[in-house]
Amino acid sequence: MTAVSGNGHRSHVLAVPLPAQGHVKPLMSLCRQIAKHGIKVTFVNAQSIHHKILSAAAAEEEDDDCGGNVVMATVPDGLSPEHDPNNPFMLFETLQKTMPQTLPELIERINSDNPNEKVTCLIADLSFSWIFDIADKMGLEPVGFSPPSVACLAMAFHALKMLERGDLDTNGSLKNGDVISLSDDTPAWRNEELPWRFPDNPKMEKVVIEAIQVYRKASKAKWWLCNSCYELEPAANELLPNALPIGPLNLLDSITDGSDSRSTNFYPEHSSCLSWLDSKPDGSVVYVSFGSSAVFSQKQLDELALGLELSGRAFLWVVRPDLVNGSCIAYPDGFLDRVSGLGKIVEWAPQNRVLAHPSIGCFMSHCGWNSTMEGASRGVPFLCWPYMSDQLHNERYICDKWEIGLKITFDEGGIKSRYEIKKKIETLFSDNKFKENALKLKEMCGKSVSIGGSSCKNMKKFIDHLRG
Ligand code: UDP
């Protein structure tokens, strides 16, 4: 099926994610849906991100052609030798400087190579809204995509107003009061839980609060596609009528052929853990994963390892090679031998498939929004361990609004102790309320993306628009 617009040319979408795992993955899921409808899609990564994805795919246990029916393209990183190539915020800044030149060059190259398939539409991450200036100049339709919750997007726009009124200081702290509530039915944000909070990195808070200004350009785009569904966040959607929830996008990826998460992984995926899960009873395994960027102190890693051991429950734990503050991974003495019959550790899991596996009983998570959507849409209860940014508010949705999880809290020494971890695992497994609520969310999300559901209708509306 090929979608041809009124002028006889095929529609052609160019998609540009933020250079981070949690942004690349959901945008690729959206692009696959668009491409399925015969619309040509080119996905543009910064070169270093593209290389990460290629080398992860090359090391994976199954073959993959990276983009599937989506064409992959790159723009230069613009990093100089003195820049740290592994610092995503550095890339965020350099791309902002170089892409106004390199992206039009790429588009012109694509257009002259395929005059009948010229780029017609530019989908960009809303936190990269400066790209819409490029769309303007090149006569392309700008479309926004937002991977976090609709509530978080609403908060970004609210922050712009607060900055104008002088209600936030330059560190992003509230000048009056210590709570912001946007509506009665959306969990409120405490000062220390605002989306620009990076508790271990005050410098980053300044960078992010300044970067929020970019959302002023979001209004150039008529469509703001969000990885959520109306039913999960009705009040937040009422606050932002421009937002068009089309998710959870993970439910649209194909689980059966395994193409759901491969092709956008920054780390090689270890799918062998799926057969390990096959050997476990339903609802028995604790899945532990902290996304792509959270880091631990060695002391905290030790406590987590010992807490999992103490719980006596089977666990599947994702330990990225860079999980411990840049050091090599070291476990407590004898830990690996003692848990060899109990747990499995992998460097990167096929998370969307893991969470859909019947053996999974709960998800110990940093509460990134993708992980939140993936767990909620599969009916999995959560143990919450947020670090920063929107994760802190996502925890409020999980624990306070949806009641599908529990918080793991710090002790006076700022550590989540092995005893707290064991206690929360036990409580979560012994109170059926969490699983029951999680199953209701699973049903709600499933209906939303099925024919006649709200997300499905929104996606159709957008794709019909692209097809002209
Ligand atoms: N992920 C994965 N395998 C892992 C850990 C994470 O595929 O072992 C994926 C996960 O499914 C999600 C993304 O990486 O889609 C992480 O996004 P999220 O928003 O949860 O967290 P972030 O990495 O942005 O902090």
Please report, for the domain that includes residue 356, its CATH number: 3.40.50.2000
Beta bridge partners of 317: 288, 345
Q: Where are the alpha helices (DSSP H) in 200-264?
A: 202-211, 234-239
Whether 368 lines ligand 1, by a CB cut-off of 6 Å, is yes
> What is the distance in A from the centroid of ligand 1 to the CA of 154?
23
| pTM (predicted TM-score) | 0.95
**393 and 312, same domain (yes or no):** yes
Q: Spell out the long-range contacts of 370-375 with Cβ–Cβ below 8 A and sequence spacing 24 or more.
A: 370/22, 370/25, 370/26, 370/147, 370/227, 370/250, 370/291, 371/289, 371/291, 372/149, 372/397, 372/398, 373/227, 373/228, 373/247, 373/248, 373/249, 373/250, 373/445, 374/248, 374/250, 375/438
Establish if 288 belongs to a structural domain.
yes
Q: What is the pLDDT of residue 261?
A: 47
Ligand 1 atom nearest to CA at 148: 19
At 79 the three-state DSSP class reads coil
Ligand 1 site-directed mutation target among 21, 32, 61, 146, most atoms within 8 Å of CB: 21
Establish if 5 belongs to a structural domain.
no
Determine the average pLDDT of the residues in 358-365: 98
Whether 25 lines ligand 1, by a CB cut-off of 6 Å, is yes
> What is the distance in A from the centroid of ligand 1 to the CA of 371?
6
Establish if 207 belongs to a structural domain.
yes
> What is the distance in A from the centroid of ligand 1 to the CA of 178?
31
Whether 369 lines ligand 1, by a CB cut-off of 6 Å, is yes
Tell me the pLDDT of the chain averaged across its residues: 92
**276 and 420, same domain (yes or no):** yes
**371 and 460, same domain (yes or no):** no
Q: What is the pLDDT of residue 419?
A: 98
> What is the distance in A from the centroid of ligand 1 to the CA of 353?
12
Q: Quote the tokens at residue 91.
A: 């890339």
**122 and 154, same domain (yes or no):** yes
The span from the CA of 276 to the CA of 344, in Å, is 8
**376 and 394, same domain (yes or no):** yes
Determine the average pLDDT of the residues in 51-67: 73
The span from the CA of 212 to the CA of 234, in Å, is 24
Q: What is the pLDDT of residue 211?
A: 87
Question: Which residue type sits at 410?
Answer: F
**414 and 458, same domain (yes or no):** no
Establish if 50 belongs to a structural domain.
yes
Residue 262 has pLDDT above 90, yes or no: no
Q: What is the pLDDT of residue 80?
A: 82
> Residue 442: which pLDDT band, with cuts at 50, 70 and 90?
very high
Residue 260 has pLDDT above 80, yes or no: no
Determine the average pLDDT of the residues in 208-214: 89
**274 and 155, same domain (yes or no):** no
Ligand 1 atom nearest to CA at 147: 19
Q: What is the pLDDT of residue 169?
A: 86
Contact 382, 398 (CB under 8 A): yes
**360 and 387, same domain (yes or no):** yes
Q: What percent of the chain has pLDDT over 70?
A: 94
Q: What is the pLDDT of residue 203?
A: 83
Residue 439 has pLDDT above 60, yes or no: yes
> What is the distance in A from the centroid of ligand 1 to the CA of 22?
6
DSSP state of 401: I
Establish if 25 belongs to a structural domain.
yes
**174 and 25, same domain (yes or no):** yes
Determine the average pLDDT of the residues in 36-50: 94
Determine the average pLDDT of the residues in 436-445: 98
Q: What is the pLDDT of residue 205?
A: 86
Question: Based on the structure, what is the number of domains in the chain?
Answer: 2
Contact 165, 126 (CB under 8 A): no
> What is the distance in A from the centroid of ligand 1 to the CA of 367?
10
Residue 39 has pLDDT above 90, yes or no: yes
Residue 210, CA atoms < 13 Å, CB-side half-sphere = 9
Q: Identify the burial level of 381 via C-beta atoms within 10 angstroms of its C-beta, where 0-12 means exposed, 13-18 middle and 19 or more buried.
A: buried
Q: Which of 427, 407, 436, 411 is nearest to 313 (CA)?
A: 427
> What is the distance in A from the centroid of ligand 1 to the CA of 386?
13
> Residue 5: which pLDDT band, with cuts at 50, 70 and 90?
low
Ligand 1 atom nearest to CA at 23: 24
Residue 17 has pLDDT above 50, yes or no: yes
**103 and 151, same domain (yes or no):** yes
Residue 3 has pLDDT above 90, yes or no: no
Determine the average pLDDT of the residues in 214-240: 96
Higher-pLDDT residue of 372, 168:
372
**Tokens 């707290």, residue located:** 420
Ligand 1 atom nearest to CA at 372: 20
Q: What is the pLDDT of residue 89?
A: 78
Determine the average pLDDT of the residues in 346-362: 97
> Residue 202: which pLDDT band, with cuts at 50, 70 and 90?
confident
**245 and 284, same domain (yes or no):** no
Determine the average pLDDT of the residues in 212-237: 96
Higher-pLDDT residue of 84, 50:
50
Ligand 1 atom nearest to CA at 261: 7
Residue 66 has pLDDT above 50, yes or no: no
Whether 386 lines ligand 1, by a CB cut-off of 6 Å, is no
Establish if 418 belongs to a structural domain.
yes
Determine the average pLDDT of the residues in 307-319: 98
Whether 374 lines ligand 1, by a CB cut-off of 6 Å, is yes
Whether 348 lines ligand 1, by a CB cut-off of 6 Å, is yes
Whether 261 lines ligand 1, by a CB cut-off of 6 Å, is yes
Ligand 1 atom nearest to CA at 290: 5
Full domain range(s) for residue 28 = 12-261+448-467
Contact 296, 302 (CB under 8 A): no
> Residue 171: which pLDDT band, with cuts at 50, 70 and 90?
confident
Q: What percent of the chain has pLDDT over 90?
A: 83
Q: Which of 284, 273, 297 is nearest to 200 (CA)?
A: 297
CA angle 29, 34, 40 (to 5 degrees): 115
At 315 the three-state DSSP class reads strand
**403 and 456, same domain (yes or no):** no
> What is the distance in A from the centroid of ligand 1 to the CA of 351?
7
Higher-pLDDT residue of 199, 393:
393
Beta bridge partners of 14: 42, 122
- Burial per residue of 209-248, b for 16 or more beta-carbon CB atoms within 10 angstroms, e otherwise: bebbebbebbeebebbbbbbbbbbbebbbebbeebbbbbb
Residue 73 has pLDDT above 80, yes or no: yes
Determine the average pLDDT of the residues in 47-71: 78
At 243 the three-state DSSP class reads strand
Whether 264 lines ligand 1, by a CB cut-off of 6 Å, is no
Query: Angle at which helices 418-430 and 298-311 pack, to 10 degrees?
Result: 40
Establish if 462 belongs to a structural domain.
yes
Residue 228 has pLDDT above 80, yes or no: yes
Contact 195, 179 (CB under 8 A): no
Beta bridge partners of 245: 226
Whether 263 lines ligand 1, by a CB cut-off of 6 Å, is no
Residue 1 has pLDDT above 70, yes or no: no
Establish if 411 belongs to a structural domain.
yes
Determine the average pLDDT of the residues in 376-393: 97
Beta strands in 8-79 (DSSP E): 12-16, 40-46, 71-75
> What is the distance in A from the centroid of ligand 1 to the CA of 374?
9
> What is the distance in A from the centroid of ligand 1 to the CA of 284?
22
